[in-house]
Structure 1
Amino acid sequence: MAHFGKLALSVTAAAVLALSAQARDQIKMAGSSTVYPFSSYVAEEFGATTGNKTPVVESLGTGGGFKVFCAGDGLDTTDIANASRPIKKSEFDNCVANGVTDITGVMIGYDGISIAQSKANAAINFKIEHLFLALAEEVPVDGKLVKNPYKTWNQVDASLPNRPIVVYGPPTTSGTRDAFEELVMEVGSKKFDAYGDAKGKYKKIRQDGAYIPAGENDNLIVQKLVQDKNALGIFGYSFLEENPDKVSGANINGIAPTAKTIGDGSYPVSRSLYFYVKNSHRAGVKGLDQFVDLFISDKMIGGNGVLKNIGLIPMQPDLLKKVQDTVKAKTKLTAEMVDKHTVLP
């Protein structure tokens, strides 16, 4: 009996040692290039003020972030996925299949998708349907769908400049690309009966060189616009805010991208920003609770929070309070919430 007791003690000690070996003292997050500047700022602040290691933040795009986040629940996987759109059902199902079942989704504020150009150019005004017709794989001509023939903007509409259609934008792994397809391409297709059953759903972007996927580093797109004054770029409003001496944003449906128009929803290409955290990692990753609390604090994402200074559009105080309460309660993301594209119960 005594021997059994020693064996049990030995096994328990081994389990404790194994758990200690698995525990981590540095937070890992990955995902949206749009959320990247905000999460990086919070990470640097966290490292500088709490005595914890500065968290590792990777810009993989929203889809790429969810792929690594949902790969498993072990402490060798990321703790947080940054996202510029809500998690998709297919991604949530992948998480569940891999044992990632205790997640809290957190809205951090708003962002607008900017259609930007070199500051050297005259102001430009687009309608949603202009952008759609310029970038769709197929467009209606004489009532029939044909491969996109447009080479210059003034061919799309005479009110637009005589400039070649060259648009640097996000790749398919990007939440910004997903949001652009939903808010511009699908909305634009509603104007044309030629799409039949695909009207209001069509989102295929042309692949003949007019649209150029430019990776997950939006600063590179800013550089491209400085080098090529004919080109346009698609990226989050925060990068427009950070580079006012280099680029300007086009008006969409007569509305300029500003903090006010994005915050009140009048700018047509506005969206919410998020991160998703594994509650199962809170005990095993040093400082994770503290980091999440800092990120959602009034100091960071409140109406006068510091992230506002680098382009995050704050939410209203009552909504922020709901978000903070959800995080405090470690509210579990459910399939029903995913279906409704929300992170709030």
Structure 2
Amino acid sequence: MNRILKTTAIAAAAMSVASVAQARDQIRIVGSSTVYPFASYVTEEFGATTEYPTPVIESTGSGGGIRLFCEGVGEGTPDITNASRRMKPSELEGCMENGVEDVTEAMIGYDGIAFAQSSENDAVDLTREQIFLAVAAQVPQDGELVDNPYETWSDIDSSLPDREISIYGPPTTSGTRDAFEELVMEAASEEMDEYGGEGYTDIRDDGAYTDAGENDNLIVQRLTEDTDAFGIFGYSFLEENSNSLIGSSIDGVEPTPEAISSGDYPVSRSLFFYVKNQHADDVPPLYEYVDMFMTEQMIGDGGYLMDIGLIPLPEDMREQQRQDVSDRDTLEVADLEE
């Protein structure tokens, strides 16, 4: 064998060995803390009912998960990322630049963002404007924007409790934070002349709002200890802790499954996961897990995930999502710009 052929043969053998080395039978999942309890249920079921090990799942926040997912293709990168908001066009473009060119999007259901407190208190009815005035870095006063002076809820409106404003919420890497900024802060500020019709999303940093990290269970724990405080997290965590927490109505609508699925609850959002199809050959259980997640038994009306707080999609939407995922439809940037 001449040198060129010999070198080529060695290189091919090395590539073959590398490919085998990359193959693994344990799925790696990152992403949203809101989707985490639903995905965790599916991973446990998957580990218990298939020949494969239970997937490894990490709560990194939606933005953090997407960044990890989009770092590239290969053994050291995640196979799936969960998200409590839709991927942004710029994020998919970043994926593609790093060689992640074949991604399938799966919408699994709805969730609402709860603004909750300890059940030791009376229920509070709030508007998005009142919540905005409690958390915004700058607020209108006498026709100008000033650093937020509000120290108690009653400073904002005399009908509200005379309690210090103390809010535990998600960090900037969280999809819940993204959705809160869009559905509460932007929506409220766009109605205020002082902001010139532009959405304002800067959150105060004087201690009234505490970044409580990606683990929503820690926010729940803090509310049971700090009974004057409010917390911002996904509805499923309110559902799971209804014995110790109560949710506030927002703009006159209480956070209930019916109000969230109908869109009447003003702080509702869709939940997703994203699949790296380029990993399917080297991670054999990938599609088996994905298809299990999308079954009626999991995401359907009366499914297992509904029992822990997932709000199902309408039946026709579930069927369409299931078909798109089954077809391994490749997500395009234009899809995210619709």
TM-score (norm 2): 0.97
When residues 8 and 99 of structure 1 are mapped into structure 2, their CA distance, relative to the original with a 3 A threshold, is closer
Alpha-carbon shift at residue 4 of structure 1 (Å): 8.4
Aligned-partner SS, 1:59:
coil
For the pair 1:19 / 2:19, whether they are aligned, the reply is: yes
| Of 279, 286, 289, the match for 1:288 | 286
Residue 141 of structure 2: aligned partner? 141
| Of 299, 316, 322, the match for 1:324 | 322
Residue 332 of structure 2: aligned partner? 334
Residue 247 of structure 1: aligned partner? 245
Aligned-partner SS, 2:82:
strand
Residue 343 of structure 1: aligned partner? none
Correspondences of 1:58-97 after superposition (within 5 Å) = 58-97=58-97
AA partner of residue 319 (structure 2)? K
Residue 178 of structure 2: aligned partner? 178
Once residues 66 and 6 of structure 1 are traced to their aligned partners in structure 2, the CA distance between those partners, rounded to angstroms, is 42
Alpha-carbon shift at residue 95 of structure 1 (Å): 0.7
Preserved contact between residue 36 and residue 82 of structure 1 (Cα < 8 Å): yes
AA partner of residue 32 (structure 2)? S
Preserved contact between residue 187 and residue 200 of structure 1 (Cα < 8 Å): no
Deviations 1:225-277 (CA, angstroms, capped at 9, x unpaired): 11111100000000001001111100001111011111111101000000000
Instruction: Flag structure 2 segments of 5+ consecutive residues without an equivalent.
Output: none
Once residues 85 and 168 of structure 2 are traced to their aligned partners in structure 1, the CA distance between those partners, rounded to angstroms, is 20
Residue 188 of structure 2: aligned partner? 188
Aligned-partner SS, 1:215:
coil
When residues 14 and 123 of structure 1 are mapped into structure 2, their CA distance, relative to the original with a 3 A threshold, is same
Once residues 133 and 10 of structure 1 are traced to their aligned partners in structure 2, the CA distance between those partners, rounded to angstroms, is 67
AA partner of residue 273 (structure 2)? F
Once residues 169 and 329 of structure 1 are traced to their aligned partners in structure 2, the CA distance between those partners, rounded to angstroms, is 38
Aligned-partner SS, 1:68:
helix
Once residues 244 and 38 of structure 1 are traced to their aligned partners in structure 2, the CA distance between those partners, rounded to angstroms, is 18
Once residues 213 and 10 of structure 1 are traced to their aligned partners in structure 2, the CA distance between those partners, rounded to angstroms, is 53
Once residues 126 and 2 of structure 2 are traced to their aligned partners in structure 1, the CA distance between those partners, rounded to angstroms, is 82
Deviations 1:154-185 (CA, angstroms, capped at 9, x unpaired): 11111111010000000000000000000000
Residue 40 of structure 2: aligned partner? 40
Preserved contact between residue 69 and residue 80 of structure 1 (Cα < 8 Å): yes
For the pair 1:309 / 2:307, whether they are aligned, the reply is: yes
Aligned-partner SS, 2:58:
strand
Alpha-carbon shift at residue 312 of structure 1 (Å): 0.4
Aligned-partner SS, 1:312:
coil
Deviations 1:301-325 (CA, angstroms, capped at 9, x unpaired): 0111100000000001100111011
Aligned-partner SS, 2:113:
strand
Once residues 281 and 252 of structure 1 are traced to their aligned partners in structure 2, the CA distance between those partners, rounded to angstroms, is 42
Preserved contact between residue 188 and residue 200 of structure 1 (Cα < 8 Å): no
Aligned-partner SS, 1:146:
strand
AA partner of residue 153 (structure 1)? W
Once residues 331 and 3 of structure 2 are traced to their aligned partners in structure 1, the CA distance between those partners, rounded to angstroms, is 46
34-43 or 2-11: which moved more?
2-11
Residue 113 of structure 1: aligned partner? 113
Preserved contact between residue 62 and residue 175 of structure 1 (Cα < 8 Å): yes
AA partner of residue 181 (structure 1)? E
Instruction: Flag structure 1 segments of 5+ consecutive residues without an equivalent.
Output: 341-345
Once residues 158 and 89 of structure 2 are traced to their aligned partners in structure 1, the CA distance between those partners, rounded to angstroms, is 41
Alpha-carbon shift at residue 13 of structure 1 (Å): 4.2
Residue 261 of structure 1: aligned partner? 259
| Of 235, 238, 256, the match for 2:236 | 238
Aligned-partner SS, 2:92:
helix
AA partner of residue 141 (structure 1)? Q
Aligned-partner SS, 2:161:
coil
Once residues 235 and 4 of structure 1 are traced to their aligned partners in structure 2, the CA distance between those partners, rounded to angstroms, is 61
Aligned-partner SS, 2:282:
coil
Question: CA-atom RMSD, angstroms?
Answer: 1.5
AA partner of residue 112 (structure 2)? G
Once residues 65 and 242 of structure 1 are traced to their aligned partners in structure 2, the CA distance between those partners, rounded to angstroms, is 24
When residues 142 and 19 of structure 1 are mapped into structure 2, their CA distance, relative to the original with a 3 A threshold, is same
Preserved contact between residue 105 and residue 275 of structure 1 (Cα < 8 Å): yes
TM-score (norm 1): 0.95
Once residues 60 and 291 of structure 2 are traced to their aligned partners in structure 1, the CA distance between those partners, rounded to angstroms, is 24
